[in-house]
Amino acid sequence: MLQRLYVHNFRCLENFELNIKATHSALLIGKNGTGKSTIRVVFEILQAIARGTNKMSELENLNLIGLKDFCRGHNDTPIRFEIETLIDGELYKYAIAFELPEHFKELKIFEEALTVSNKIIYSRKEAQITRYNYKNSQNNETQFLVDWHQVVLPIIQTYSDSDPVYILRTWLRNMIILSPIPSLMTGDSEGETLEVKKDASNFGEWFSGLYTEYPDAYQQIKAYLQDVMPDIYSIRNERVAKNAKNLLIQFKKETDAVLNIQFDALSDGEKCFFLCAVVLAANEFYGPLFCFWDEPDNFISIPEVGHFIMALRRSFQGHSQILVTSHNSEAIRKFSNENTFILGRKSHLEPTLIKSAKNLNLTDDILNTLVLDDLEF
C-alpha cells in the first residue's frame, strides 16, 4: 500500500507531501489547476521507469518530464520524487532527483536511491552507483558508473524475484493509472497484456491478457456488468484473424433473440463500466494493486455515479488501494472527511497546498464549503 508521495519543484508542486497511510480509498478534490493531474503524472513517470523507460530523452518524448516542468521556472533546484509503499510488511522507499546543470540542454539524474525498511539497497550520486548486497550481513557493496541521463532502477541487475529491486519494479509496473478516453477504447487485440495504458486504448489487449492468464476472472467481470446492465448475456472474445481478436457483447432479455453488439459500438459510459469491471477483476486476481483513477465519474450518468464509486471503494480493501480525483458532487459524497484531501493554491504564483478534510473541522457539508470558497490556503 502507498504510504507517502513527496514531490518537490515539479510543475505546481513544491515541497508537496501526500500521506495516505492505512487508507484503502482516498479522494483528491480541488479547483482546476491545483495539481490533481500533476500527481497522476508523477505516478506515470515512476511507472514508465519501472516498465523500462530509463533515458531522460524517452521520458521527455512521452511528455512526462522536461525542461519546462520546474516549478515556476526554478531550474536551479532539482526536481525530486519520493515514494514510500508497504509491500509484504516491508517499507520500500524510492527517491529520484533530476537537475539541469548550467549549459545542459537535457535533465540529468542528480540522485537516486532505494531503501527497504531503512536498509539501503542501492544509492546514486550523479554517475556513481553503489549497490549493496541485501542478503549479506556484511552488506558488501559494488560500485559502477551509469550515464548521467539514464535512470538506474529499470536496468540494475536483480538476483531473483525476491530481490527488493525486482519487487519494487513489479509493484510500480502493476499500478493501474487511468484517465480513460472512451472514444479510443476498442475491443480489438493483436496481443495480450496485464499492463493497461493510461487512456485505456489497449483495453481489448488487457481484457485478453486477464482472461488468458486468469480464466476465472470472466465470471467476476460478467457479474459486475450484469449488476449495472442486467440484459448482458455473454462477452465473447472472438478470433477475427490469425493473431487478432475482437470483443463482441451479447444482450438478451427473457425469451428475446440475442443481440450482438461490437464493443466499439457501446456508449462512452458503457465502456467505462467494462473498464471498471476489469479493474475490479485485475485487483482480485493479480493484486493487491494500487490504482489512481483521474475522474472515474466522467461519462457516467448521475444516477449511476454512486454505485460506480462504491463498487471501486469496496473492491480496494485489504492490502490494495485506490486514489481518485473528482469534481462530481455525487462522487464526492461517497467519501468522508477521513479520506478526502483538498488541494488549493492562492494564485498561479504560489505552489499547491494540501489539507486533509479530517483536520479542517468543517461544520457544514464539505461541498458547500468548496462552493462558497470558504477554505483558506
Q: pLDDT tens digit string along 192-235? A: 999 999 999 999 999 999 999 999 999 999 999 999 999 999 99
Please say whether the beta carbons of 200 and 176 come within 8 A.
Answer: no
Q: Is the pLDDT of residue 138 over 90?
A: no
The reply to whether 81 falls in a domain is: yes
Label residues 319-331 b or e (16+ Cβ within 10 Å = b). ebbbbbbbebebb
Number of structural domains (the chain) is 1
Whole-number percent of the chain with pLDDT over 70: 94
pLDDT in tens, 255-272: 889 999 999 999 999 999
Q: Is the pLDDT of residue 135 over 90?
A: no
CA distance 307 to 310: 5
Please provide residue 143's backbone torsions phi and psi, each rounded to the nearest 5 degrees. Answer: -120, 145
Weakest-pLDDT range from 49-63, 127-141, 218-232: 127-141
The reply to whether 94 falls in a domain is: yes
pLDDT score for 367: 59
The reply to whether 245 falls in a domain is: no
For the stretch 228-236, contacts whose Cβ atoms lie closer than 8 Å and that sit 24 or more positions apart, written own/partner, are 228/273, 228/304, 228/307, 228/308, 229/270, 229/273, 233/258
Q: Is the pLDDT of residue 137 over 60?
A: no
The reply to whether 329 falls in a domain is: no
Please say whether the beta carbons of 27 and 325 come within 8 A.
Answer: yes
pLDDT in tens, 141-164: 889 999 999 999 999 988 889 999
pLDDT score for 14: 96
The pLDDT confidence band at residue 79, using thresholds 50, 70 and 90, is very high
Per-position DSSP letters for 99-157, written without gaps between them: E--TT-SS-EEEEEEEEETTEEEEEEETTEEEEE-TT-TT--EEEEE--TTB-STTTS-
- Picking from 304, 110, 169, 152, the residue whose alpha carbon sits closest to that of residue 224 is 304
Whole-number percent of the chain with pLDDT over 90: 81
The reply to whether 344 falls in a domain is: yes
pLDDT score for 103: 86
pLDDT in tens, 313-323: 999 988 899 99
The reply to whether 299 falls in a domain is: no
pLDDT score for 376: 64
Count other Cβ atoms within 10 Å, centred on residue 159: 12
CA distance 141 to 355: 42
Task: Report, as an integer, the average pLDDT of 278-290.
Answer: 95
Q: Is the pLDDT of residue 370 over 70?
A: no
- Residue 140's domain comprises 2-175+336-371
- From residue 32, how far is each of 36, 263, 347, 351, 368 by CA, in Å? 8, 32, 12, 14, 17
- Picking from 102, 62, 95, 81, the residue whose alpha carbon sits closest to that of residue 6 is 81
CA distance 56 to 44: 14
pLDDT score for 164: 95
Q: What is the CATH number of the domain that holds 346?
A: 3.40.50.300
Q: Is the pLDDT of residue 302 over 60?
A: yes
CA distance 96 to 82: 7
> Distance from CA of residue 208 to its chain's centroid?
21
The reply to whether 190 falls in a domain is: no
Mean pLDDT computed over every residue of the chain: 92
What's at 366, amino acid-wise? I
pLDDT score for 121: 95
The reply to whether 72 falls in a domain is: yes
Please say whether the beta carbons of 55 and 91 come within 8 A.
Answer: no
The pLDDT confidence band at residue 139, using thresholds 50, 70 and 90, is low
CA distance 63 to 57: 10
Count other Cβ atoms within 10 Å, centred on residue 351: 19
Q: Is the pLDDT of residue 372 over 50?
A: no
Q: Spell out the residues 6+ positions from residue 359 whose beta carbon is closer than 8 angstroms to its own.
A: none
